[in-house]
Amino acid sequence: MSTRLGELVERLGGHLVGNADIEIFGIASLDDATASHITFLSNPKLRAQAAQTQAAALILSADDDAVVSTGYNGARVVTSNPYAYFARTAQFFAAQQALPAPVGIHPSAVVATGAEIAPSASVGPHVVIEAGAIVAEHVVIDAGSYVGRNAQIGAWTHLFAHVTLHAHCRIGQRGVVHSGAVIGADGFGFANDGGVWVKIPQTGGVTIGDDVEIGANTTIDRGALADTLIEDGVKLDNQIQIGHNCHIGAHTAMAGCVGVAGSATIGKYCTFGGAAMVLGHLTIADHVHVSSGSLVSRSIREAGQYTGFYPLAKNADWEKSAAIVRNLTTMREKIRELEKTIKSLTEK
Amino acid sequence: MSTRLGELVERLGGHLVGNADIEIFGIASLDDATASHITFLSNPKLRAQAAQTQAAALILSADDDAVVSTGYNGARVVTSNPYAYFARTAQFFAAQQALPAPVGIHPSAVVATGAEIAPSASVGPHVVIEAGAIVAEHVVIDAGSYVGRNAQIGAWTHLFAHVTLHAHCRIGQRGVVHSGAVIGADGFGFANDGGVWVKIPQTGGVTIGDDVEIGANTTIDRGALADTLIEDGVKLDNQIQIGHNCHIGAHTAMAGCVGVAGSATIGKYCTFGGAAMVLGHLTIADHVHVSSGSLVSRSIREAGQYTGFYPLAKNADWEKSAAIVRNLTTMREKIRELEKTIKSLTEK
Amino acid sequence: MSTRLGELVERLGGHLVGNADIEIFGIASLDDATASHITFLSNPKLRAQAAQTQAAALILSADDDAVVSTGYNGARVVTSNPYAYFARTAQFFAAQQALPAPVGIHPSAVVATGAEIAPSASVGPHVVIEAGAIVAEHVVIDAGSYVGRNAQIGAWTHLFAHVTLHAHCRIGQRGVVHSGAVIGADGFGFANDGGVWVKIPQTGGVTIGDDVEIGANTTIDRGALADTLIEDGVKLDNQIQIGHNCHIGAHTAMAGCVGVAGSATIGKYCTFGGAAMVLGHLTIADHVHVSSGSLVSRSIREAGQYTGFYPLAKNADWEKSAAIVRNLTTMREKIRELEKTIKSLTEK
């Protein structure tokens, strides 16, 4: 399958310089692209490479175009954000090649009376949908997924195989939930009574906005009373844990293995590196970026990059530095004594 | 549905002051409660707020009651642990509102000949139960769960959707296992033979006591020869990994993303903050509390709170402190030289 | 069931000293073994214990044999690696006792037209296999697993219950994939466009070699364009996250909760302790060993052991040392001032 370059640019925007009638068959990297591909330049350091690409068309910024256009003879698509343009172009070709999910309910699925499944939705083999659930138009639910009582799934959202969406949990439109994700398990709430834990029922739900992606084996707990909230455009990688009553602001992204303890409120446009952890009941401002492996143990009121992990070293070197870290108070004491001694020496 | 306050107190204990005939429809926070609710005061700082609550009844301690009773006109339930009383009250109302699971075996479930399913148990759609498994009275097994050969599930235990309980693993009574949990996968045991790993068969099982809760996507490995042991009342949050042949003492609680390597023995009444890690073959005493993000690299013989994570800072500040941490031996050397120089100066 | 000792040694190698006709019923530890067992000595410190064992036969090294044979009267199997020999012996007895998986396709499984299932394969209840998938001879796919379109599974590989193997992903021969593992979910790839994340389609797959074991709830993402690669003999424990386009070298082993960010290239024969993390796009040499809880933030070019975690302490002690770590630049400044002052003193 192929697409006229002109049609692609009409759809995705940008300024086309060159032949609109070229047929494009796909997208490839600067090096791998051939005369049937479109490619992109998002890193100015690769300008020389871009000028040499064999691609039929090149997506690039105006600044890069001023330099690259002198050496490159193909068509150019000039845009303010070539990397995002690449992503949308790749989406376009991926959608062309994707097999459409079969519309309707697979005969092996178990759909309770009283669940509403839109006619254009696709419900795969061995899926279970409980009573009161609402599945909107063009939703795709792959094999073996579970949709609890009164759960809601917005239009065009895709649940991959083996997703669990528990009772009274809602996800908006155009969402993607990967395999093994569990949305709406009980939050971890117990009262201690003489050493024994007494369970606090978790009667809230999970409310997830539009355009949210949730990674494989990620878990988002239901709230204790109110709902756990995930705003529009949030992207969660795999193996993430979101505790009960967390509130994650719009367009925040978290890499794999991140953990957020209960009742944390995280701003919009934040990013969290892999395995970063956030303690419970904290507040994190918008535009905060937490480095991988860092533990957030206090609220962060100011935007910026925050880090806290022990630097890696050869094991023998680490053993020495760790031994000193254990005794830093001793080192500080020695410095104080030195200061005192010197003061008395200089005062003489 | 509602309940006479007197009936609630007969069931849950505590000393009732006020009208036993009030009908209570549910539990709510101090601020949200109306005349149809019972509420609770567990934090003495909120006494003034408690005195103003609109709730029909208030759960509180004797100390708080001495102060609050002068300003509050509703009924009071005086108890030594108001927070635990709140939890039990919330359980009572949640149970009233819960839909009972349908008794019996769903026609889409696959139950092997030779599995024993109690008549009062509920086996959901697409559940698979292998031969020799024993499912006790009032057990609920939700959609898509798997119960292996000769596995045992005690009375009133609830397996949510998509739980895996492997062959020869046992869980006691009143347990809760959340979606995606895997109990009894092989422990990670290999012998190295010239660089190549040779698998050591994991022929032990997992034995889990009564009143244990296991979070979503948590994994508990089967033992190599003997069983992995989880004692009564243990509470595990989501995404936890328990290695083979671990032994977790009664009423210990672990927050999300904790990892415990193989053959660790952990005492009773311990708590582990999120993402804490315990190395293999260690022993941890009773009443040990490990902070979030801390790695336990040696046995802990004494009760108490233990911590070990790098403090978070603005990235620029962290870079400076991390550079010094890498060179702490140099800093120590400088201090030693200063001490020597000063000694020689003072001896002059 | 039992086996002649001579037959065992013919099968597994080693030098037999003693009666080849003894019947062995199983393997046990030095202490637990009886006259029907074979046992092993892999730690020279246990020589005295080995000499006292009641086992019918003892696996040990030539060095240990020289000492132990004087006190022990049973048969001995002398081999260069007794621990690996133990593992293979245990495998032999475990295979004897294992129930063979039922050959053929369970009637509740949903196998698409155009999937190729070898006649000797076992496909369990509620398994779903999509069109174009190839399942080789002697493969076992347990209950509720999902095999995507055009996925491939090599001979003798075992998928436990609830495994997800996505479209176009391949695993080689003699592999083991534990419950809840997800192979081939989308990598975490997005372009940022004015704060909003634009998904980059993940059109690569996952290619996994022979003799690979993948733990419960472990996730291995599909590549963005090219495949994520896991070479022969790799062993991954539970709850591990492997990002898109990673390349893990042969015979590398990772303990539970490890995370590897996208496009990391890891050498052969490496080991990673539990919860170690590797940042994206790094390169790690062969024979690198990373300690538990350590974050690898730069490439490692040289074999060896690397560590980086904050040492655990009593919480009160940690608070003091952490406060100093936060202010290490102040401490360094003080030392510099001391050096200056002393210099001026000594120059007088």
pLDDT in tens, A335-344: 999 888 888 8
User: Would you state the structure tokens that stand for residue B29, as one six-digit string?
Assistant: 């926070």
CB contact under 8 A, B179 and A193: no
Contact A234, A214 (CB under 8 A): no
What DSSP string runs through C190-253? EEEETTEEEEPP----EEE-SS-EE-TT-EEEPPSSS-EEE-TT-EE-TT-EE-TT-EE-TT-E
Spatial CA neighbour of C203 closest among B64, A87, B120, B40: A87
Question: What is residue C278's DSSP assignment?
Answer: E
- Per-residue confidence (pLDDT) for residue B62, from 0 to 100: 97
- Per-residue confidence (pLDDT) for residue A279, from 0 to 100: 98
- Collapsing DSSP states into helix, strand and coil, what is residue A306? strand
A 276-315 near C (Cβ less than 8 A): 292-293, 309-315
Pairing of strands C265-266, B37-40: unpaired
User: Would you state the structure tokens that stand for residue A63, as one six-digit string?
Assistant: 């600044």
- Per-residue confidence (pLDDT) for residue A346, from 0 to 100: 80
Rounded to a whole number of angstroms, the distance from the CA of A212 to the nearest CA of chain B is 20
Q: What residues contact residue C160 under an 8 Å CB cut-off, 6+ apart?
A: B164, B166, B185, C142, C145, C176, C177, C178, C179, C216
Per residue in C115-169, pLDDT (tens digit) is: 999 999 999 999 999 999 999 999 999 999 999 999 999 999 999 999 999 999 9
Q: CA A180 to CA C162: how far, in whole Å?
A: 9
What DSSP string runs through B30-93? TTT--TTEEEE---GGGHHHHHH---SEEEE-HHHHHHHTTT--SEEEE-S-HHHHHHHHHHHH
C 37-56 near B (Cβ less than 8 A): none
User: Which residues of chain B are modeled with pLDDT < 70?
Assistant: 348
User: Which residues of chain A are modeled with pLDDT < 50?
Assistant: none
Q: How many CB atoms lie under 10 A from the CB of residue C336?
A: 11
CB contact under 8 A, B325 and A311: yes
Least CB-CB distance to B341: which of C106, C216, C342? C342
- Per-residue confidence (pLDDT) for residue C327, from 0 to 100: 93
Beta bridge partners of A55: none
Pairing of strands C228-230, C247-248: parallel
CB contact under 8 A, B306 and C314: yes
- Per-residue confidence (pLDDT) for residue B348, from 0 to 100: 67
Query: What is the edge-to-edge ordering of all strands in the sheet holding B158-159?
Result: B104-105, B122-123, B140-141, B158-159, B176-177, B213-214, B235-236, B253-254, B271-272, B288-290, B304-307, C313-314
- Reported pTM: 0.97
User: Which residues of chain C are modeled with pLDDT < 50?
Assistant: none
- Per-residue confidence (pLDDT) for residue A37, from 0 to 100: 96
* Test mutation, B85, B126, B321, chain A, max A CBs within 10 A: B126
The total number of residues shown for chain A amounts to 348
**B-C Cβ pairs (cutoff 8 Å, strict):** 218
- Per-residue confidence (pLDDT) for residue A165, from 0 to 100: 98
Q: CA C41 to CA C29: how far, in whole Å?
A: 9
CB contact under 8 A, C312 and B324: no
Rounded to a whole number of angstroms, the distance from the CA of A237 to the nearest CA of chain C is 6
Q: CA B69 to CA B16: how far, in whole Å?
A: 12
Q: CA C290 to CA C307: how far, in whole Å?
A: 6
What DSSP string runs through A96-148? HHSPPPPPEE-TT-EE-TT-EE-TT-EE-TT-EE-TT-EE-TT-EE-TT-EE-
- Per-residue confidence (pLDDT) for residue C348, from 0 to 100: 67
Chain B neighbours, 3+ Cβ pairs < 8 A:
A, C
C 91-110 near B (Cβ less than 8 A): 91, 93-94, 99, 106, 108
CB contact under 8 A, B292 and A277: yes
User: Would you state the structure tokens that stand for residue C338, as one six-digit string?
Assistant: 């001391």
Per residue in C176-223, pLDDT (tens digit) is: 999 999 999 999 999 999 999 999 999 999 999 999 999 999 999 999
CB contact under 8 A, B198 and C84: yes
Spatial CA neighbour of C262 closest among A91, B277, B315, A292: A292
Contact C301, C267 (CB under 8 A): no
User: Exposed, middle or buried by CB within 10 Å (0-12, 13-18, 19+), for A334?
Assistant: middle
**Which amino acid is present at A294?**
S
Q: CA C224 to CA C233: how far, in whole Å?
A: 24
Pairing of strands C265-266, C247-248: parallel
Residues in A closer than 8 angstroms to B289, CB to CB, are none
| A247 counts as catalytic | no
CB contact, 8 Å: A347 with chain B?
no
CB contact, 8 Å: A124 with chain B?
no
User: Would you state the structure tokens that stand for residue A57, as one six-digit string?
Assistant: 């068309």
How far is CA C130 from each of CA B288, C61, C150, C274, rounded to the nearest angstrom? 50, 50, 7, 35
Spatial CA neighbour of A40 closest among A99, A71, A2, A84: A84
Residues in A closer than 8 angstroms to B216, CB to CB, are 164, 182, 185, 219, 221
Contact C143, C163 (CB under 8 A): no
Residues in A closer than 8 angstroms to C203, CB to CB, are 90, 94
Spatial CA neighbour of A93 closest among C202, C191, C184: C202
φ and ψ of C49, to 5 deg: -65, -40
Residues in B closer than 8 angstroms to A341, CB to CB, are 342, 346
Start-to-end CA distance of chain C, whole Å, equals 91
Give the DSSP H or E segment for A340.
helix A328-347
Least CB-CB distance to C182: which of A93, A99, A216? A216
Radius of gyration of chain A (CA): 27
- Per-residue confidence (pLDDT) for residue B164, from 0 to 100: 98
CB contact under 8 A, B238 and A241: yes
Rounded to a whole number of angstroms, the distance from the CA of A207 to the nearest CA of chain C is 20
Q: How many CB atoms lie under 10 A from the CB of residue B63?
A: 12
* Test mutation, C179, C186, C190, C331, chain A, max A CBs within 10 A: C186
Rounded to a whole number of angstroms, the distance from the CA of C101 to the nearest CA of chain A is 22
Cα maximum dimension of chain A: 96
